[in-house]
Amino acid sequence: MSTAKTALDGIRVLELSALAGAVCGRVLADLGAEVIKIEPEGGEPFRRSLPRVSTAQGEESAAWLAFNHGKRSVTLDPLTDEAGFAALCASADIVITDWERLDLDTMDRLGRIARDANPALVWCEILPFGRGGPYERYPATDTVLQALGGHLYLNGDVDLPPVRISLPVGLIQGGAEAASAALMALWHALRTGEGQRVDVSVQACIVWTLLNSTMAWQILGLNEMRGGAIRKERANRFYTRLVWETRDGFIFFGPVGGGGGSARIKSYEALLAWMAEDGFTDPILTRHDWNGDGQFFIPQEDYDAVTAVIVDFIRTKTTDALMTRAVKDRILLAPISSVAGVFDNPQFRARQYFRPLADPDRGLEIDLPARWANLSQTPLAAPAPAPLPGADTATILSPLRQGSTA
Amino acid sequence: MTDALTAVTTEASGLFAGLKVADFTWAAAGPIATKQLADNGATVIKVESFKHPDSIRLGGPFIDDKPGINRSGFFADFHSSKLGISVDMSNPDAIEIIRPLIEWADVVAESFRPGVMKKWGLDYDSLRAINPRIVMLSSSLYGSSGPWARHPGYGAQGQALSGIHAMTGWPDRPPAMPKGAYSDSVSPRYALSALVAALIHRERTGEGQHVELSQIEATAQLLAPELVAYQISGIEGTRAGSRKPGSILHGVFPCLGEERWIAIEALTEAQFAALGQVLGASEALDTARAKGLDALDEAVAALTRPRDAFALMAACRAAGVPAGVANKASDLLEDDVLNAHGHFWPLDHAEMGRLKYNGPAYRFEKTPSALRFAAPRLGEHTEAVMTRILGFDQADIARFRDKGLLQ
């Protein structure tokens, strides 16, 4: 384990979680907190969630492994061992929990024990809709929240139903949101001694991914429509192509129309220069001031005509060749990276975003997407193996129990 | 009547009351992070260059559908509770105004393409020389190092590079563009976590530091499970429409009306049985299920099509079946749950009138957040900030105007 000083050195976090709470704990552990998972005998249910991968420990959840490395694990049933749980809480700064692990009644009961034991404690709950009224008990899952948060409506091809993002984005973003909120509350607790409950609404986290949709409705009476490769972006009145097929994949690109300022103008000039080198010329390419004053009001048929020429050009290039030239000439495009594309991304690799993890108990040597920020004085903690169930029960609980009986 | 500056500096409540932030961020990812500081009581002074204002002031929707520097709802939503000053940052003498701001600040935040702050003499080493305790946040799309560091870009490129775009859509079609720019909405949560951790470290040790973040790296945290699975099993996760492995039923289905859709999930036998009851077609669903997922999706769609989406959601909820209407933006503003939270904050703006701004997704029990006033017009608080916070007098301001530093 790294011994470099970390920002949250000495901060203790308890985690009673499934996915969302684990993501929150992951952020705090990366920042240097000691994160202790409280698990039932044999481990928490989320250890077995789908999809699973084979390790020397058997079948384990990929998401569990991705978000629980570098944490500790204590076997304890807080409902039957209230004293043990209270002692842990007295030693902690933050408790994280989420609704996929605990029902609300259990949260309320444990929250009381925890906060009685430690008035400076930050008690952080990740819930589908946050706290309050009848809605706090509505059943919800990640996809339901992608829908209720307004994002799902805006994704997918127009001739098929809207689609979810095939990742539990709400739960993961809810976890990240909870980390920032818990740290704000910790800032307050460290300065004043006052702990408090913080609750996060995953629905509201999803609303935040819309960026300008609630303003577009209020100001223009406009509900945007989903699109697949082609859609009306922002406040555009015409459909723009945003997904382009390359020789071996797809890129995202908005060459003309619909905002982007001087960078978009330069990008289009660089594209035209490259196309001309390859003999792709057509009067339509320069017929409009495509990215100038009229950019929001381009006739659809003109837009379609200019993109038809660009489509043909892009199909002659590989995704790598497009990105290499784009970086050289400042063309505003990007590969639509698959999982393998993210894993091999040269920018991530150059910045050492991926950090090696050796986990001998599981027979794993993998790269984790670990360095999500660079803190000059307190670097993120280096990856360490995820705990086996109850691995730290004796070392963590024994001193607390001795303390409470002394 | 209390002006914004008085409200910020003397009447602030919230857990960051007293925290001072010099905010050079622009576009979306940076301002969304500093908005959390402002809406929790910090004094946030947004610095814009009047020759090169925040780019999203030029992004719609515009009030009355007329573009204008103080007319963008896109900009407004991310700038509640912030003061705004406007300086010609390209003028080398701008440092005369900026230096006292840096001396005053606890935090300097910026989200420019790497190199811009250095060009202005405001890179971390320069800031630290002025104010050793400063905590600086730099958030850029690709990060400040590596081969792509200086490549221009915005959030839609970010969601493509971080894997979110490829994970959206139908397996037999090109990836569908997700709305928005996921890196702009995810990365601020990570940026804020790192920034507050750095503030906690400073509180405990007195030591400032530089927090540097790549928006695509932060966003790729969402892909961590797939990246682990890919390395161990060799299987690459990809977009799967709205289906999810392990579910009995997992999809988005049509309802009565134009573009009305509902997401419904049955993860357990009990939920599937309850859904059969809600739809009044238990046997039909069992029969369709035996024929496979396509047949089941079709059968459910046929049953939901004549139903009102909101009534069906209520019936599913009562039966314990996870279900959610695919809310449109117009639905969100009327949503009972969001409104019960007070998620939307109506704020008055001199040129845009009253608009509802999005408030935080988290709630503090004892130190409530508050959106205190609407987004600043370009340079709205320049004079007030210079005289009442930075200690300049009217003669200084006249001199700066003569030099072209101020409008």
Q: SS in 3 state form for chain A?
A: CCCCCCCCCCCEEEEECCHHHHHHHHHHHHCCCEEEEEECCCCCHHHHCCCEEEECCEEEEHHHHHHHCCCEEEECCCCCCHHHHHHHHHCCCEEEEECCCCCHHHHHHHHHHHHHHCCCCEEEEEECCCCCCHHHHCCCCHHHHHHHCCCHHHECCCCCCCCCECCCHHHHHHHHHHHHHHHHHHHHHHHHCCCEEEEEEHHHHHHHHHCCHHHHHHHHCCCCCCECCEECCCCCCCCEECEEECCCCEEEECCCCCCCHHHHHHHHHHHHHHHHHCCCCCHHHHCCCCCCCCCCCCCHHHHHHHHHHHHHHHCCCCHHHHHHHHHHHCCCEEECCCHHHHHHCHHHHHCCCEEEEEEHHHCEEEEEECCCCEECCCCCCCCCCCCCCCCCHHHHHHHHHHHHHC
**Exposure on the CB side of residue B131, measured as CA atoms within 13 A:** 25
pLDDT digits (tens, 9 = 90+) for B189-208: 999 999 999 999 999 999 99
- Domain final residue, candidates B334, B358, B378: B334
Question: Of A162, A167, A369, which is closest to B326 when you measure between CB atoms?
Answer: A162
Residue A260 has pLDDT above 70, yes or no: no
What CATH number is associated with residue B255?
Answer: 3.30.1540.10
pLDDT digits (tens, 9 = 90+) for A202-240: 999 999 999 999 999 999 999 988 988 887 765 567 888
pLDDT digits (tens, 9 = 90+) for A58-94: 999 999 999 999 999 999 999 999 999 999 999 999 9
Q: Contacts of residue B133 in chain A, CB cutoff 8 Å? A: none
Is B320 in the same domain as B347? no
Q: Is B272 on the interface with A (CB under 8 A)?
A: no
Return the structure tokens found at B131.
């104010």
- Total number of domains in chain B: 2
Question: Of B167, B204, B217, which is closest to A166 when you measure between CB atoms?
Answer: B167
- Distances, alpha carbon A93 to alpha carbons A7, A8, A127, A196, B367, in Å: 14, 11, 20, 11, 17
Question: Residue B60 has what pLDDT?
Answer: 85
> Cα–Cα distance between B311 and B300 in angstroms, integer?
16
Distance of residue A348 Cα from the nearest chain B Cα, in angstroms: 7
Task: Identify the residue with better confidence: B390 or A291.
Answer: B390
What residue in B sits closest to A372 (Cα-Cα)?
B218
Residue A246 has pLDDT above 50, yes or no: yes
Flag whether B236 is in a domain. Answer: no
Mean pLDDT of B67-73: 96
Question: Residue A71 has what pLDDT?
Answer: 98
Residue B210 has pLDDT above 70, yes or no: yes
- How many C-beta atoms surround the C-beta of residue A305 within 10 A? 15
Is B86 in the same domain as B163? yes
Is B272 in the same domain as B353? no
Q: Are strands A52-55 and A374-375 parallel, antiparallel or unpaired?
A: unpaired
Mean pLDDT of B265-290: 97
pLDDT above 70 as % of chain B: 100
Query: Where is average pLDDT lowest: B1-10, B132-141, B251-260, B323-332?
Result: B1-10
Flag whether B388 is in a domain. Answer: yes
Is B322 in the same domain as B267? yes
Distance of residue B331 Cα from the nearest chain A Cα, in angstroms: 8
Question: Residue B96 has what pLDDT?
Answer: 97
Q: Contacts of residue B199 in chain A, CB cutoff 8 Å? A: 187
Class of domain A12-208+384-405: alpha beta
> A214 Cβ partners below 8 Å, 6+ apart?
A150, A207, B77, B329, B332, B333, B344, B356, B358
Pick the closest to residue A180 from B189, B180, B296, B307 (CA basis).
B189
CB–CB contact A371 B213 (8 Å)? no
CB contacts under 8 A, A 140-159 vs B, are 140-141, 143-157
Q: What is the mean pLDDT of chain B?
A: 96
> Cα–Cα distance between A43 and A180 in angstroms, integer?
27
Residue B234, helix vs strand vs coil: coil
Q: Are strands A94-98 and A12-16 parallel, antiparallel or unpaired?
A: parallel
Is B269 in the same domain as B382? no
Mean pLDDT of B69-77: 97
- Domain final residue, candidates B334, B360, B385: B334
- Domain final residue, candidates B275, B301, B334: B334
Residue A48 has φ and ψ, to the nearest 5°, of -115, 15
Is B206 in the same domain as B267? no
Are A297 and A266 contacting, i.e. CB atoms less than 8 angstroms apart?
no
Residue B111 has pLDDT above 80, yes or no: yes
What CATH number is associated with residue B129?
Answer: 3.40.50.10540
Residue B1 has pLDDT above 50, yes or no: no
Task: Identify the residue with better confidence: B19 or A230.
Answer: B19
> Cα–Cα distance between B136 and B23 in angstroms, integer?
10
Q: Are strands A230-231 and B209-214 parallel, antiparallel or unpaired?
A: unpaired
Is B284 in the same domain as B383? no
Question: Residue A1 has what pLDDT?
Answer: 42
pLDDT digits (tens, 9 = 90+) for A144-160: 999 999 999 999 999 99
Question: Residue B2 has what pLDDT?
Answer: 63
From B184, B286, B297, B331, active-site residue: B184
Number of residues assigned to chain A: 406
Residue A106 has pLDDT above 60, yes or no: yes
Is B389 in the same domain as B300? no
| Interface mutation vs chain B, best among A213, A238, A295, A320, most B CBs within 10 Å | A213
Query: Where is average pLDDT lowest: A289-298, B293-302, B337-346?
Result: A289-298
Is B360 in the same domain as B263? no
pLDDT above 70 as % of chain A: 96
Residue B33 has φ and ψ, to the nearest 5°, of -70, -45
Is B133 in the same domain as B271? no
Residue A374 has pLDDT above 80, yes or no: yes
Distance of residue B8 Cα from the nearest chain A Cα, in angstroms: 19
On whether the pTM is more than 0.95, the answer is: yes
Q: Is A102 exposed, middle or buried (0-12, 13-18, 19+ CB in 10 A)?
A: buried
CB contacts under 8 A, A 82-141 vs B, are 129-133, 135, 138-141
Mean pLDDT of A8-14: 98
Task: Identify the residue with better confidence: A122 or A1.
Answer: A122
Residue B267 has pLDDT above 90, yes or no: yes
Flag whether B234 is in a domain. Answer: no
**Exposure on the CB side of residue A253, measured as CA atoms within 13 A:** 23
B184 catalytic per annotation: yes
Residue B3 has pLDDT above 90, yes or no: no
Which residues span the domain enclosing B9? 4-221+342-402
Flag whether B393 is in a domain. Answer: yes
Question: Residue B108 has what pLDDT?
Answer: 98
pLDDT band for A349, please (50, 70, 90 cuts).
very high
> Cα–Cα distance between A15 and A126 in angstroms, integer?
12
Question: Residue B4 has what pLDDT?
Answer: 78
Q: Contacts of residue B191 in chain A, CB cutoff 8 Å? A: 373
Is B77 in the same domain as B136? yes
Q: What is the mean pLDDT of chain A?
A: 94
Distance of residue A137 Cα from the nearest chain B Cα, in angstroms: 9
Question: Residue A2 has what pLDDT?
Answer: 44
pLDDT band for A115, please (50, 70, 90 cuts).
very high
What residue in B sits closest to A191 (Cα-Cα)?
B203
Flag whether B382 is in a domain. Answer: yes
Where exactly does CATH 3.40.50.10540 map onto chain A? 12-208+384-405
Query: Where is average pLDDT lowest: A176-180, A262-266, A306-310, B229-233?
Result: A262-266
